[in-house]
Amino acid sequence: MAAEDNEVVLRVERLKAFYTSSRGLVRAVNNITFEIRRGESVGLFGESGAGKTTVALAILGLFESLSRRYASIAANEDSKRLWELRDNARKRGLTSDQIGQELPGIEGHIWFGGRDLLTLNEKDYRQIRGNEITYVPQGSTKSLNPYSNIAEQTAESLWAHDIDNTLNERVVMKRVLQALDLIELGDVDLRKTMKPSQFSVGEDQRVLIAMALIPDPVLMIADEPTTAVDMAIQQRILEAIQIVRREMHLSMLIISNNQGTISQTCDKVGVMTAGHIMEFGPAATVMNSPGHPFTRAFIMSNPTMQVIRKIKEKKLRIRGIPGKPPDLAETIAGCPFKERCEYAQDICRELKPEYREVEAGHWIMCHRYEELPAW
Ligand SMILES: Nc1ncnc2c1ncn2[C@@H]1O[C@H](COP(=O)(O)OP(=O)(O)OP(=O)(O)O)[C@@H](O)[C@H]1O
Ligand code: SF4
Ligand SMILES: [Mg+2]
């Protein structure tokens, strides 16, 4: 393996991303760290509201402007005051920890290409977003323009970043056709002139993946690439992602609450609930032999055939996740899973667990890991 194959392309370090709401701060992402190496596909897997999309927005430099906009639409006085405190702290070069008060916005580091993305201005970010880092947003097939054909729309993602005017029509069309061919759209010469309504939902989703590929990004983020489609279509989308992994040496962040999607497309996975990564490790290990009580419960709450077989074989008890996820507008003391965990004890309520590396590259945040029954 060449040295650069192992290079870390993205490192998210102690990232916090807090929204404001009428009920105060919403701690959507709370101190998470992970990295993605060149050519590696990393998943964020977890329940709804865990903070997965917020991580993507933070990497894309969209979190803060979006959450300020929500705050200003809500016209809430407390939110306004918190954002003012945030801006004053920034002017003085201080973090929320240093001023001893939790604040909205983003903190931590997102290292990419030798730079901390959180220090970039919007002009520099525009060179990265949609170019070096591309995004297939959640529920995004609606974002396709119904009046423009697929080739034109796919080409737009290249033209938009051609600030030096180095591209020409022939080069752009060649790359468009290559990308559409890669995601197996059939006769691309024929289909490139078709409009989104002439494609199925699954094909539209694959076109969006093609669009995210043609700038030849370093990192592609796909947020829930397989939601709201049936199993057969899901499989075609997953195959398209697998082809992309094989053919292009790009790094990927795949966000999903679907075990099959993560198992089939990721090398490593971080399992999220309540703004925290509870377990991080090789996807095959985490999905087949989960170590953390949350991962186990989440996988059990919607078991695949493989998990059902395992449950029967090992005579495990099927148990979903009781209760509701914690309210992110409240400070969480102790373990974020303590209210719903069947193994919780006093220590879990009092102290937030530290991460422990239980085997090489496999991290778990649980006080009682050693005492848990085998899976
Ligand atoms: N604009 C906002 N203002 C306040 N809170 C928000 C806002 N957007 C999201 N949140 C909250 O932040 C938390 C994380 O949301 P996020 O969308 O990142 O979760 P997710 O893991 O992507 O969930 P899903 O699987 O449903 O897409 C949730 O509790 C959500 O309610
Ligand atoms: S720390 Fe305690 S509450 Fe949290 S997952 Fe482990 S056993 Fe459960
Ligand atoms: Mg989401």
Say whether 118 sits in a helix, a strand or coil: helix
pLDDT at 140 (0 to 100)? 66
CA nearest 104: which of 120, 125, 92, 90? 90
User: What is the atom index within ligand 1 of the atom nearest the CA of 70?
Assistant: 1
Q: For 48-64, write each residue's pLDDT tens digit.
A: 999 999 999 999 999 99
- Is 180 within the bounds of a domain? no
pLDDT at 4 (0 to 100)? 60
Alpha-carbon distances, residue 273 vs 25, 52, 57, 152 (angstroms):
17, 9, 17, 39
- Is 168 within the bounds of a domain? no
pLDDT at 54 (0 to 100)? 97
Centre of ligand 1 from the C-alpha of residue 274, in Å = 10
pLDDT at 1 (0 to 100)? 43
pLDDT at 2 (0 to 100)? 46
Of 337, 347, 364, the residue with max ligand 2 atoms within 8 A of its CB, to mutate for a pocket test, comes to 337
Query: What token pair was written down for 54?
Result: 């917020």
Whether 291 is in the pocket of ligand 2, judged by its Cβ within 6 Å, is no
Is pTM beyond 0.75? Reply is: yes
For residues 283 and 269, the answer to whether their CB atoms sit within 8 Å is yes
User: What is the atom index within ligand 2 of the atom nearest the CA of 343?
Assistant: 7
Alpha-carbon distances, residue 280 vs 45, 136, 270 (angstroms):
10, 23, 4
Among the bound ligands, the one closest to the CA of 52: 1
Residue nearest to atom 18 of ligand 1 (CA): 51
What 8-state DSSP symbol labels residue 352?
Answer: P
Write out residues with Cβ below 6 Å of ligand 1.
Answer: 19, 21, 26, 28, 46, 48-54, 67, 70, 138, 257, 328
Residue with tokens 């989104």: 196
How far is 63 from 17, CA to CA, in rounded Å?
8
- Is 310 within the bounds of a domain? yes
Centre of ligand 2 from the C-alpha of residue 28, in Å = 20
For residues 212 and 166, the answer to whether their CB atoms sit within 8 Å is no
Centre of ligand 2 from the C-alpha of residue 343, in Å = 6
Number of H helices, E strands in the chain: 15, 12
Instruction: State which residues form the domain around 319.
Output: 3-132+215-371
pLDDT at 5 (0 to 100)? 65
Sign of CA dihedral 254, 256, 261, 262: positive
Of 295, 343, 350, the residue with max ligand 2 atoms within 8 A of its CB, to mutate for a pocket test, comes to 343
Q: For 283-304, write each residue's pLDDT tens digit.
A: 999 999 999 999 999 998 888 8
User: What residues contact 117, with CB distance under 8 A and at least 6 apart?
Assistant: 59, 61, 110, 111, 125, 128
Q: What does pLDDT average to over the chain? A: 90
Whether 68 is in the pocket of ligand 2, judged by its Cβ within 6 Å, is no
Residue nearest to atom 1 of ligand 2 (CA): 366
Alpha-carbon distances, residue 99 vs 82, 93, 95, 147 (angstroms):
13, 10, 7, 52
DSSP codes of every residue in 124-168: HHHHHBTTTEEEE-TTGGGGS-TTS-HHHHHHHHHHTT-TT----
Residue 347 dihedral angles phi and psi, to the nearest 5°: -60, -35
Report the chain (375 residues): mean pLDDT per 10 consecutive residues.
72 97 94 96 96 97 92 82 94 93 96 96 92 87 84 87 82 88 84 87 85 91 83 82 85 94 95 98 95 94 83 77 92 95 96 96 97 88
* CB hemisphere CA count around 211 (13 angstroms): 28
CA nearest 258: which of 283, 240, 276? 283
- Is 156 within the bounds of a domain? no
Q: For 157-206, write each residue's pLDDT tens digit.
A: 888 877 778 888 888 898 899 888 888 888 888 888 898 888 888 888 88
- Is 177 within the bounds of a domain? no
Centre of ligand 2 from the C-alpha of residue 366, in Å = 5
For residues 58 and 67, the answer to whether their CB atoms sit within 8 Å is no
Instruction: Give, for 242, the enclosing helix (H) or strand (E).
Output: helix 231-247
Strand 8-21 with 251-256, pairing: unpaired
What 8-state DSSP symbol labels residue 328?
Answer: T
Residue nearest to atom 6 of ligand 1 (CA): 19
User: What is the atom index within ligand 1 of the atom nearest the CA of 29?
Assistant: 14
Domain count for the chain, please give it: 1
User: What is the atom index within ligand 1 of the atom nearest the CA of 44?
Assistant: 21
How far is 72 from 110, CA to CA, in rounded Å?
26
Residue nearest to atom 30 of ligand 1 (CA): 49
Of 12, 21, 26, the residue with max ligand 1 atoms within 8 A of its CB, to mutate for a pocket test, comes to 26
| Domain CATH number, residue 323 | 3.40.50.300
Among the bound ligands, the one closest to the CA of 68: 1
What 8-state DSSP symbol labels residue 60?
Answer: T
